[in-house]
Structure 1
């Protein structure tokens, strides 16, 4: 496992971003765990998170003009990332993010920050079924002369074996999706460190249940990204 993955997993465990219980996700999937990135609430923690995103972007070696954050959780991640890019790599990147509701006064509109144009990387926290990403793409596609180059996330839950984000390339939009870690990385880390044995069993059990759930075809990830 790459060092950045190890450090990121250590960080999310220390900050209790990965929590366990009974959760219903936005995709309506029942899950025994939740990746609660919004629990990061200090400047130091957000800056640390931003450095993980910035380092991952540098390693991906993608040419881009600006970053776009998906409201709401993607916004603080986006800001932390652009600050980290400037402070750590001296890369000054323009950014923008969407509002959930269109502003009807002042400058109006539903976009804050840089005018959306050129090659864009979308920033968000977790991939489950792709709904939030699809909605962001709809917003971005309204603007001319733009190209979505990549989508970068913290965690790929890998809820569906058919969708391999690390190699995914859609013909329709020609962008790729990457995550700093995926749930298999967490399982591997816990096994290797021989820690959180109860939680490890929960993750493995959920993974096995997913395989059975996939066979029912009751839920499909969004194939229209």
Structure 2
């Protein structure tokens, strides 16, 4: 595991964005861990998170011209990452959407830099069912953009249902035909907690959860 991925997990734990225990997910599953990017709720925390995203983007050698942040969590993430990339010498455009179309002023649902004919990178926190990301793909297409890749903070690497052993990330990658890059994955989390004894982490519970719900992309 790279130092960048390890640093991300350390930052997430310190910010209480990564928690261990018993959590009921929207799917009804009882998960031994929970990730909430909304807890990166200060300038220092968000800057640290943006640095991890920028590391992932640079490591993947992604050539992009505009960052797109889907409302709502994707907006501050994309803005922070754009600032971090600028600090590293790469200035890119920033665009995002409104949940409700504006009928006055400039109007519409898209705000920020034009995506017309541009290589666009979608920035979000996680992909669960994939519905929000598909909406983001449609919005970029409506703005004339060309999606180069999608970057998320954490890939849980778990199946959506027993009929399909692909994860939500894999399904989006297959259907959209674009790379989906994650700052860290469940595999990284397992390696990190085993090596560092992260506060509150229950390694047997994490392993059991992966065994039950892990996708084909996760190690077994």
Q: TM-score, normalised by structure 2?
A: 0.85
Q: How does 1:168-183 map to 2 (within 5 A)?
A: 169-170=173-174, 173-183=176-186
Q: Are 1:100 and 2:104 counterparts?
A: no
Q: Are 1:206 and 2:205 counterparts?
A: no
Q: Deviations over 1:174-202 (max 9, x none)?
A: 31101010112111111111344653333
User: What is aligned with 1:221?
Assistant: none
CA contact (8 A) 1:101 1:110 kept: yes
User: Residue 125 of structure 1: CA displacement?
Assistant: 0.5
User: What is aligned with 1:42?
Assistant: 42
User: Residue 127 of structure 1: CA displacement?
Assistant: 1.9
- Mean Cα deviation higher: 192-201 or 147-156: 192-201
Tell me, in whole angstroms, the C-alpha distance in 2 between the residues paired with 1:159 and 1:22. Answer: 15
CA RMSD of aligned residues (A): 2.3
How many pairs does the alignment contain? Answer: 207
Tell me, in whole angstroms, the C-alpha distance in 2 between the residues paired with 1:198 and 1:120. Answer: 37
CA contact (8 A) 1:128 1:159 kept: no
Corresponding residue to 1:186 among 184, 189, 192 = 189
Q: Deviations over 1:195-225 (max 9, x none)?
A: 44653333223223325xx8xxxxxxxxxxx
Query: Structure 1: where are the runs of 5+ without partners?
Result: 215-225
**What is the DSSP-based 3-state SS (H/G/I as helix, E as strand, rest coil) of the residue aligned with 2:122?**
strand
Tell me, in whole angstroms, the C-alpha distance in 2 between the residues paired with 1:31 and 1:103. Answer: 39
**What is the DSSP-based 3-state SS (H/G/I as helix, E as strand, rest coil) of the residue aligned with 1:126?**
coil
Q: Deviations over 1:124-147 (max 9, x none)?
A: 001223111111112122233x21
Tell me, in whole angstroms, the C-alpha distance in 1 between the residues paired with 2:102 and 2:188. Answer: 40
Tell me, in whole angstroms, the C-alpha distance in 2 between the residues paired with 1:67 and 1:95. Answer: 5
